[in-house]
Amino acid sequence: MKRVFALATTVLFVGGLAVAQTAGHPPAALASQRAVLDKYCVGCHNEKLKTAGLMLDKADLANVGDNAQLWEKVVRKLRAGMMPPTGLPRPDAAAYDALTVALESELDRAAMAKPKSGPPSAHRLNRTEYGNAIHQLLGLDIDPAAYLPADDSSYGFDNVNSGLQVSPALIEGYVTAATKISRLALGHETAYNRKVYHVREDYSQEDHVEGLSFGTRGGVLIRHYFPADGEYKISWDPIRSTVGSLYGGDSLDEHLELTLDGKRLALYSVGKEIPINIAHDNMSIKVSVKAGLRTVGVAWLATNYIPDADLNAHYQRSVLDDNVTIGFTFSPQVSMVTIEGPYDGTRPAQTASREKILTCHPARIGRDLLREKRSVQPRPPGLSPAAQGK
């Protein structure tokens, strides 16, 4: 009942006062409520007529909680203004509201005395729960949004049973995701792939980002899973206007470092590797990486710690709009990071996921054992080695 939750919230603030106020009604109040029922309701809803299957002539108003289902029906009709029916005598507004509020209070008090929420309903995993389950089972961090469609929400939540229905298309999506993730966990996914990480447009890059090198500002820290051993291409792009000019690119003292697991891979300078005006950027590097979860960092070196006079309205910024009304920024910004590969990738010998899946490791593979078995078999008489091989 919705009223139970509303009343429970009130009790958290006023303590036992709310319970004391709804602990019961004096005899005079019960007599008044009984009189209203007898005058306006019992004429139709009694044991003789049984109109709509509702009998109120012997219903106990002093113990509303004992017959909550009956009184819930009464409250719904009263709140909707449907009873008494049109054309029949009705009580005045004060008596009508007093009876309704009294019944609601008694129903809520009885429900709080014996709360019964019922067992949770079984439902499918939403995307977040699916990603957490994969992490616990396989030790693999994935982006579930890359494999599954967005979940429907119910009352603002995406983990409610009523919003987590299963359709044929969704089942197909789960099967496809399981295929890709299982190959990824076993290290069999050696095909080329491309992943683009976009920096949020409302993200201000004037402060240090936790996890990046000390003495840096802005940029982005990415946790990327490299599926196989091999060479990968990591590239990044700054924020530019529609005509190719670099936001905050007037200073030639700006430098950006690219790191992998905290180790610097490259250092780029504005005006040299990072042109101030250009149509397309080409800041990239190829590096050999072992399979597994790695951190890729892109951050600007902090030349000073003086507060930046940045007039850019970050929450309104758009990389597709160079209108001066959005403000000015005096520090270059990172727009996105792209990771491509592997090139000539090989299956990893061991990963955290393989350790969870494969519990034993034979010293020799089955093909070698079969070859040895054939070599020790006795040769039938009269057959040459070539004939035996056929």
Per residue in 66-90, pLDDT (tens digit) is: 888 888 888 888 888 888 888 888 8
Domain boundary among 157, 186, 215: 186
311: amino acid identity, one letter? L
Query: Which tokens sit at 15?
Result: 């303590």
Looking at residue 368, what is its pLDDT? 60
Please tell me whether residues 300 and 249 are part of one structural domain.
yes
Whether residues 213 and 237 fall in one domain: yes
Q: What pLDDT does 342 receive?
A: 93
**Domains held by the chain: number:** 3
- Residue-range definition of the domain harbouring residue 308: 193-346
pLDDT at residue 16 greater than cutoff 50: no
Q: What is the pLDDT of residues 79-132, one digit of tens each?
A: 888 888 888 888 888 888 888 888 888 888 888 888 776 676 677 888 899 999
In this structure, are 200 and 338 located in the same domain? yes
The average pLDDT across 316-331 equals 50
Burial zone of 283 (CB within 10 Å; 0-12 exposed, 13-18 middle, 19+ buried)? middle
Least confident of 48-62, 122-136, 137-151: 48-62
Residue 284 located in a structural domain: yes
Split at pLDDT 50, 70, 90, the class of 384 is low
Final residue before a domain boundary, out of 79, 113, 147: 113
Burial class of 173 by CB neighbour count within 10 A (0 to 12, 13 to 18, 19+): middle
Based on the domain organization, do 173 and 243 belong to the same domain? no
Which of 274, 237, 269 lies closest to 253 in space, CA to CA? 269
pLDDT of residue 95: 84
Q: Are residues 201 and 172 in the same domain?
A: no
Q: How far is CA 371 from CA 365, 381, 386, in A?
A: 10, 21, 16
Contact 326, 317 (CB under 8 A): yes
- At residue 379, does pLDDT exceed 60? no
Tell me what the mean pLDDT of segment 282-307 comes to.
86
Does any domain span residue 380?
Answer: no
Mean pLDDT of 33-52: 82
* Same structural domain, 143 and 96: no
